[in-house]
Chains A and B, each alone.
Chain A
Amino acid sequence: MEPRTDAFSRRQLLAGGASLAALIALQACSTGDETETPKGSAGGGDPWKQFSGTAINFISENTSPSAAIAANLAPFEQLTGIKVKVQQMELDKVVEKCKLDFSSGTAQNHVIYADPYQILAPMADGLADLRPLIDSGNYPAVEKGLGDFIDTQLQATGSFIDDKKIFALPYDAPTMILHYRKDLFAKYGPRAKADLGFDPTPSDSMTWQQYLAVAKWFNENARGDVAYGIGAQAKQHDALQCDFSNVLWSFGGDYFEKGQSLGLRGSEEPGAVTVGSAAGVAAATFYRDLLKVAHPSSTTWDWTGLADAFVAGEIAMCPNWHEFAAGEEKAFPGNVGYALLPKGPARRAHIFGGTGIGINANAKGDELGAAWLFVNWATSPQTQLMSLGSKVGGGTPTRTSVYEMPEVKAEEGKSPSKFPNIRTAETVLKAWQPENIGLRPKVSQWVELDTIIFTELSKMLTRGADPAATMAAMQQQMQKAMQ
C-alpha cells in the first residue's frame, strides 16, 4: 500500500510541474511593437459603428470623470453600438488588476486608467502605443487634434521616455491649490491684519512663512468658529508625499538632479538623488513646523480625510486637489475661495495629479478598435463638458477648447454653479503654467521611492525624527532603490 501512496504523489508532482512549465511557455510569446489598426466589419461605412456589437471593459480608479462616464454611457452605446463595462476601484486595486492582467498575456480589461506614476511608467510596455490609431484613417479623427490637449498634460500623462509614442490621452487633471473659507477670512481678516501686519487672506502673493503665521493666529484667536487654522494630508500615504512635494519644490529642492524635467516624459536615468540637499532639509524643517500648528489629526488624513475635515468646518484653509471644489461648494455655498499655493524662497509649486486613459497592449482586433473609439470619445470635448455638469462627477477638462466654451466661461466664479469645479478654473489655469506646475519624477521605480518618502516623513512627524536625519535616510534609501 505505502509504495502506491508515494507513486501517487510523485506522479502528481510531475504533472503539476509539467502543466506549470506549459503555462509559462504559453506566456512567453509577447506582443508586437507596432499597434495594429484593425478595421471593423459592422456599421455599413459609419466609422463610429464599425465595431458595433463588441463588448469591452474599462478599468478605472473611482474618480469623478469615471463616475460621470459610468452613469452616462448611453450616448456612446448609441453612437457606436459598443457595450462598455466600467469597473471603478481604489488606485491600488487598479494597479493590482493591471499587473495580473498583463501577466496573463491576454486582455481582460481593454481600456485602462493609466496613472502616470503607478501604471504608465512601471508598465509602459503593457500599454499600446496610441499613435498608429490616432494617425490611422480607419477611425474618426481626434476632435480638434492632439493640440487641443493642454500640452504639459499630454506629455505628463501620455508619454514615457520615447516622445514618439503616446500611451494615454489626458483624462483628468487634479492639481493642488489652496482652499480657504472666505467667510472666516471676512470675519477675522481685519483683526488678523492688524496683529500680523499683512493681509492674511490667501492670495497669489502669500508666502509659506505668512501661511504659517496665519495658521498660528487662527489657532489662538478663532477657536469659536474653527478648530484649527490649517490642516494637512500627512497620513503615511501617497498624499503625504504630494503635500510635502509642494513645499520641497518651492524651497528649491527636488528628488533628482534632473529635477522637473523628469516630470514630462520621464527617464531611466534621472541623475543623482538630491533630496538630502540643504534645500531639502530646509523644506523638511519647515514642513515639520507647519504640522506642529496644523490640526493634530492631520497625520491620519489623506486627501479625502483632509477634504472631509474642511467640509466639516474643522479648518480654515489647506492645500488640496482642486477637484474637491464640488463637495466644498455644497457645504459652504459661495464661501470657499481658491488661491495659488504659498510661495517659497525659490518658486511656487502645485503638484499635478492628472491621469490619462490608454489601451491594454494585449487587446486585439475588434476589441482593440472598440477600445480606441472609447478612448477617443471619453476624452472628447463634448464628453468633458458632460462630465463637468454630471451630478455624480465633476471632473476637470484637459482640453483648452472646453475652457473657452461660452457656457463654461459663464460659470467661472459663479455660485451656485452648474459646473462647481469651474469655480477653480482661474487658479488652476495659473497653476498649470510651466513656472508654477510641480511634477514628480516619472521613473519606473517611483512607487517604491514614494513609499520611502512618505514613510520617512511620517517618522519625522510622528516620532519626532530630526529633519536632517530624515532627509539623509530618505536620500540613502532612494539611492539604494535606484540601483
Chain B
Amino acid sequence: MSAGLDAAPRTALRARAVPPPRAGRVKRRVRPPRGLKTFEFAMMAPALTVLFVLSWVPFVVLVAMSFAKVRTLGGVSLTFTGADNWSAVLGDGSIWASWARSLVYFVAIVGLEMALGLAVALVLHQLVRARSVVLSVVLLPMFLAPVLVGLLGRFMLDSTIGLYAKILQAVGLGDDLLASPSTALPTIVSIDVWQWTPLVALILLAGLTAVPPSTLEAATVDGAGYFRTLVAIILPQMKPIILVALLVRSMDAIRYFDIVVATTNGGPADATKIIPIKLYEFAFRFNNQLGKAAVLGLTMLVFSIVMARIFLRFFGDRPSVPAGDGGDRG
C-alpha cells in the first residue's frame, strides 16, 4: 500500500486521539493535555455554548410536553397526564402505517441520492475544464427552497399545463402521477432526488478530490480496472465523507416535509403522509395535541439517532484503542 493510506481518514466522531506510532519518527508527546482546560476545548467553547442554549431548553420542554396536556392560549401551560400521550401515539395504527411509509420514503431517497450523487461526483471529478461551470449548474436545484421545488414539481407535472406531464402524455404515460396512491410517493421521491442529489454530489466531490493521487496511481500500476479501483481503494478512503453525506441527507430526509406539503399534502389516500406531516398536524392543525406532537418528535429523534449510530458503525472507523490513549472509551 502507498503512504497515502497511512494517513487513515478519521472523522471527529471516531477520531483516534493520536495516530499509530510510525517507525523512524521521534515522538515528543508523552501525555497530551486532556479535558476542559485545553486549547482545543477553548476553541470549541463559543460554539458549544450557543448550541447548548439553542437545544437544551427546547429539548427539556419537548420531554415535559410529551407527558402533559398542553394548552397554548394565553401562554403555554402544561397539565401532566402521565404516559397518556405515549400510549395514544404508540397505540395508533395510522401512526405505525405512517412510520412504515416514512421508512420506504427514507430508504428510497437516501439510497437514490447516495447512488446518483456518487455517480455525479465521479463524472464531475473526471471533467477538467468544464467542471466549474457544470458544477455551478448542477448545484442550482438545491438553492431553490423545498417549498418552491414542490410547487415547481406541481407545475411541471400539472396534467393541464405541465411540461413534463405533456412529455409523458406524448409517450403514452398519460396518467396524472400525483393522482394515484401507487405513483404519488415515487413521484415525490424523484422530486426530492432532483433537489438533493447535487448536495450529495458536492460533498462526495470534495472527498474525492482529497483522495491522494498516489493511491490512484498505485492502483493503476497494479492494473486494476476503474470500478475495482473505485470499490477497493477510492471508496474506502472516502468513508468519512460518505458518512457525512449519508448523515446529512438522512437527518433531513426524516425532518423536512415542505415538498410533500406543496404537492400532495399527504394524499391521495394517505399514500404520502409521512411522519413529519403527522407531527405537524398534531402540533399546529389539531387542537390541544401538542403533547402527542412531542411524543412523535421524540420518536423521530430516536429514529435519527439510531440511524446515525448505524451509519457510524458501518462508515466510521473501527473503534480502537491506540497505545498511549487509554482514556478513550472506545
Contacts and interface: CB of A to CB of B under 8 A. Distances in A.
A66 interface: no
B265 interface: yes
B9 to A, nearest CB: 28
Given A1-B34, A92-B285, A104 B56 contact: no
Nearest to B38: A1
A462 B179 contact: yes
A99 B286 contact: no
Q: Is the interface of B mostly helix, strand, loop or mixed?
A: loop
A445 B176 CA distance: 33
Contact of B178 (A125, A237, A300, A445): A300
B68 to A, nearest CB: 11
Contacts of B52: 12
A180 B22 CA distance: 84
A445 B287 contact: yes
A389 interface: no
B285 A8 contact: no
Nearest to A313: B160
A125 B261 CA distance: 29
A416 interface: no
Size class of B's contact patch? 35 or more
B74 A297 contact: no
B284 A462 contact: no
Contacts of A17: 60
A409 B205 CA distance: 67
A9 B256 CA distance: 31
Given A19-B57, A20-B60, A462-B268, A99 B36 contact: no
B76 interface: yes
A459 B285 contact: no
Interface in B68-113: 72-78
Contacts of B74: 27, 30-31, 102, 105, 125-126, 361-362
Interface in B263-314: 264-271, 281, 284-289
B266 to A, nearest CB: 6
A312 interface: yes
Interface in A85-118: 92, 95-96, 99-100, 102-105, 118
Size class of A's contact patch? 35 or more
A233 B74 CA distance: 37
Interface string A1-33: 110110010001100110110011011111100
B35 A447 contact: no
B161 A123 contact: no
Q: Is the interface of A mostly helix, strand, loop or mixed?
A: helix
Nearest to A17: B60
B284 A99 contact: yes
B61 interface: yes
B264 A236 contact: yes
Contacts of A314: 160
B324 interface: no
A5 B36 contact: yes
A63 interface: no
A126 B73 contact: yes
Nearest to A295: B159
Contact of A27 (B34, B76, B158): B76
A235 interface: yes
B181 interface: yes
A376 to B, nearest CB: 25
B198 to A, nearest CB: 27
Nearest to A308: B160
Nearest to B265: A237
Contacts of B209: none
Contacts of A20: 57, 60-61, 64
Nearest to A236: B267
A451 interface: yes
Contacts of B159: 296-297, 300
A445 B289 CA distance: 11
B132 interface: no
Nearest to A455: B270
A24 B264 contact: no
A24 B34 contact: no
Nearest to B56: A16
Contacts of A31: 74
A118 B52 CA distance: 35
Interface in B185-222: none
A449 to B, nearest CB: 10
A105 B73 CA distance: 7
A392 to B, nearest CB: 20
A26 B75 contact: yes
Contacts of B161: 308, 312
A20 B285 CA distance: 25
A444 B287 contact: yes
B178 A236 contact: no
Contact of B267 (A2, A96, A235, A362): A235
B270 A236 contact: yes
B268 A299 contact: yes
B57 A16 contact: yes
Nearest to B52: A12
A8 B49 CA distance: 12
A230 interface: no
B225 to A, nearest CB: 47
Interface in A284-328: 296-300, 302, 305, 308-309, 312, 314
B2 interface: no
B75 A235 contact: no
B211 to A, nearest CB: 37
Contact of A458 (B175, B176, B270, B287): B270
Interface string B52-66: 100011001100100
Nearest to B59: A16
B90 to A, nearest CB: 16
A24 B78 contact: yes
B320 interface: no
Interface in B155-183: 158-161, 175-176, 178-181
Contacts of A444: 287
B36 A24 contact: no
A103 B75 contact: yes
A12 B267 contact: no
Interface of A: 1-2, 4-5, 8, 12-13, 16-17, 19-20, 23-24, 26-31, 92, 95-96, 99-100, 102-105, 118, 122-123, 125-126, 235-237, 296-300, 302, 305, 308-309, 312, 314, 361-362, 444-445, 447-448, 451, 454-455, 458-459, 461-463
19 contacts: A1-B34, A2-B35, A4-B36, A20-B61, A24-B75, A24-B76, A27-B75, A30-B74, A103-B73, A126-B74, A235-B265, A237-B265, A296-B179, A302-B265, A309-B160, A447-B285, A447-B286, A451-B286, A454-B267
Given A4-B35, A5-B35, 7 more contacts: A1-B35, A23-B57, A30-B73, A95-B285, A125-B73, A308-B158, A455-B270
Interface of B: 34-37, 52, 56-57, 60-61, 64, 72-78, 158-161, 175-176, 178-181, 261, 264-271, 281, 284-289
Closest 4 CB pairs of A and B: A236-B267, A27-B75, A1-B35, A105-B75
